[in-house]
Every structure is written in structure tokens, then in C-alpha cells.
Copies of this chain bind each other. A is one copy, B any other.
Amino acid sequence: MDFKDTPEQAQFREQIRAWLKENAQPKTETETVRELSARYQQARAWYKKKAAAGYACLEWPKKYGGAGLTPIHKLIWSQEVAHYDEPDDYFVIGLGNCGPAIMHFTEEPLRSKLLQRMAANEDVWCQLFSEPGAGSDVAGLKTSAKQADNGEWRINGQKIWTSGAAHCDYGVVLCRSDTTVSKYKGLTMFIIDMRQPGVEVRPIKQMDRGQHFNEVFFNDAVVSDQYRLGAVGGGWEAALLVLMNERMAITAAVPNGFAEFFEFVRSAELDGKPIRNHPLVRDRLAEWHCMDAGVRAGFYRMFTAVAQGGMPGAEGAIGKLVAGKMNQDIAQFTLQLMGAAGAIHDPKIAHENAYFQDAILYTPGIRLAGGTDEIMRNIIAEQVLGLPQEPRADKGIAFEDIPSN
């Protein structure tokens, strides 16, 4: 049991450390959490820079524009780049989720063309699964795809929570192609050109006033059958492949607020006294440290499993489930300590650049995005612990007969 790199890993780490030192932007003390959508240009510039140096798509085959390395190299990259202020994960949905689906389901020459453009960041991709009426229950989606006699498909409906859709060139869209068969059998997946007629993107205003997510409306958007991913009616299996890759895309852990709280405890005074001496604050510091440390050590375990050729387990689900509530609790606890002034949402007045005021407003989103806390617990219970499903009200009947709103 050790934390040592193999000689080859150590050499790779040295190499990227040197490159990052030269090329990446250091973190600054005054850094504030910037809205993702505001970082688009920076993300694009950073991506081009790392792609030029050969560090994009590390684990993709070279023929698709990758570096032909392994998931471990990607993990080492993630560890090192985390020390810098670069939005390295910005395009993860396209690269991590859509990329493997394209690799798996398309034929040459389309495959190489799409992947090379994606790897070079010439095309940015998004994933279009969730709908206003199908969030936790993604497979309950209703956006319809109907095939015409000439083989083309017409897409109608609405998707929601599409990250960065306004900047995207292509999307992977899951549609219902048949309502007369059971829920999971009537789905088909397609590539869609986000710039084509019949596709309209509208930003969603979040409760914290950010606008990273979008609604996407399809109004007779036409897709050629060549852009179909997987079999007609095989959309759910294709979607599972995408979602498994989401799990595989070992990105930085969901922000849990511990680092900011620790900094607050180290440095803040309240009512003229250093709060680090307050036993209640110390109790919370220890509590949240244990959760933070446990999630981090869990990632080391996962890293090791992947290095040994295994698959990541439930670590991501645990990390996300813990992080959302913990970050919200940290924000709440800290604001309450601040007293009346906690109600002021102003980085010039509030501690840590108003991190905790920001956090009280964005943490509800962590507990919802990518699966609610409740869905995470379902996943852990059923997929990790193997507990039986609830009796299903939507099983064994045609989709059109399933009760819905």
C-alpha cells in the first residue's frame, strides 16, 4: 500500500508538471467562482493549447485525435491540472459521454471525421436526455422521432438541462420512436446538428441567476438515418453506454465546500474573536473533515482499482451524495455564525468573497443535477447493494398507457 507512481507514471507526471508550469494559469487568492458560461472563451483557448501540446483526449486512440494513453494518464493529468486555474473539464460532456458513443455506434468514415473534429475542439458536443417531464425518470421521455418513407427522421419535443447548448455544434439526443411498446424499448438515439433548422436553444435562468443550462426545442428537426446511434428501439442500451461513460469520466469531485470552510475557520474572526477557538466550529470542522477525507481516500481506492484494470465503483455516487448536502450545510452553518450580516450577499463584505452566500444559492443545484439525492440513494441501493426494485407501475405496459403528467 503506497502512493507512489510507477517509473513510467512518474515520468509522465514530471513531463506534464513542467508543461503546466509553463502554460497554465496559476490560482490566485482573489479568485471567485465564475459562472461556467462566462468561462467558455477561456476554456476553448486552454483546450487548443493543451491539444497542440498533445494532452487532449489522453486515453483516446491516436487515429481519432487522442494521445493513445490510458485512464491512469488521464487521472494523473487531472491531479496535476487541478493545481491551476484552468477550466480543464469544460468539454467533458462531449468528450467523456458523447465521444465513446460515437466510437461505438458509428461507421467510418463518419466516425473518424466526427471524433477528430471533437478532439480538436472544432466541434463542441452536448447530451440531450432530460426533459421537463422526465428528469429522475429519464426513460419516461417523450420527444418523438418519426421516420419518413425516405428514411429520414423528424424530431419534435423539448429537452432541458442541456449544459452549454448555446455553444454546441452537435448533440446526442434520445427520442421516443415507438409509444406502443414498453417504456425502455421504444427509444432511439441520434446525432443532431445543433445549428440546423428546427432546433432552438433557450437559456434557463437558475435560481442563483446563473445561466449555464438550456432548454432545447425541436420543431420538425430532420435527421438522416446515418446519424442514428444504435438500433431503432435500442436507444436505452445506447444511453446506458453514454451514462456509464459519464461514470467513467473521472473528473474532479463535486465541490463539497470543505476547503472554503477550512480557510474560513483558519482565518476568520467573528465578534472580534478567532472562530477557530470555538468548540462548536471545531466540532463541525472535524465532522466535515472526516467526510471530505473519506471521499478523497475513496477516490484513491478507485484510482488504484482503475490502475489495476478494474472499473470505478460507487465512489462518484457517494462523493456527489455527500458533497451536495454537506456543502449546503456548511453554507448554512457559516451564514448563521455571521449573524445579521450573513444576509448580505456582497463579496466586498462577506467572508471568502461571499463563497457561503453563493453556496447557499447554488448547492440546491448540486443536490439535483445529475440525479437527485433520492435517485443517488436508489442507485446505491439497487446497483451497488443489489437490493430489489420497488414494484413498478410502468412495467410491462405500452409507453402510451403509462400514467404520466
Residues of A within 8 A of B (CB): 278-280, 283, 390-391, 393
Contacts and interface: CB of A to CB of B under 8 A. Distances in A.
Closest 8 CB pairs of A and B: A279-B279, A279-B280, A391-B393, A280-B283, A280-B280, A391-B391, A278-B279, A390-B390
8 contacts: A278-B279, A279-B279, A279-B280, A280-B280, A280-B283, A390-B390, A391-B391, A391-B393
Contacts of A283: 280
Nearest to A283: B280
A280 B279 CA distance: 6
Q: How many copies of the polypeptide does the oligomer hold? A: 2
Contacts of A391: 391, 393
A391 B279 CA distance: 48
Contacts of A279: 278-280
A278 B280 CA distance: 9
A132 B391 CA distance: 24
A49 B130 CA distance: 71
A391 B391 CA distance: 8
A46 to B, nearest CB: 45
A248 to B, nearest CB: 35
Contacts of A393: 391
Given A390-B390, A391-B391, 6 more contacts: A278-B279, A279-B279, A279-B280, A280-B280, A280-B283, A391-B393
Contacts of A390: 390
Q: Which of A280, A283, A393 is packed against the most chain B CB atoms within 10 Å?
A: A280
A283 B283 CA distance: 11
Contacts of A280: 279-280, 283
A287 to B, nearest CB: 11
A138 to B, nearest CB: 21
A256 to B, nearest CB: 23
Nearest to A393: B391
A214 B8 CA distance: 68
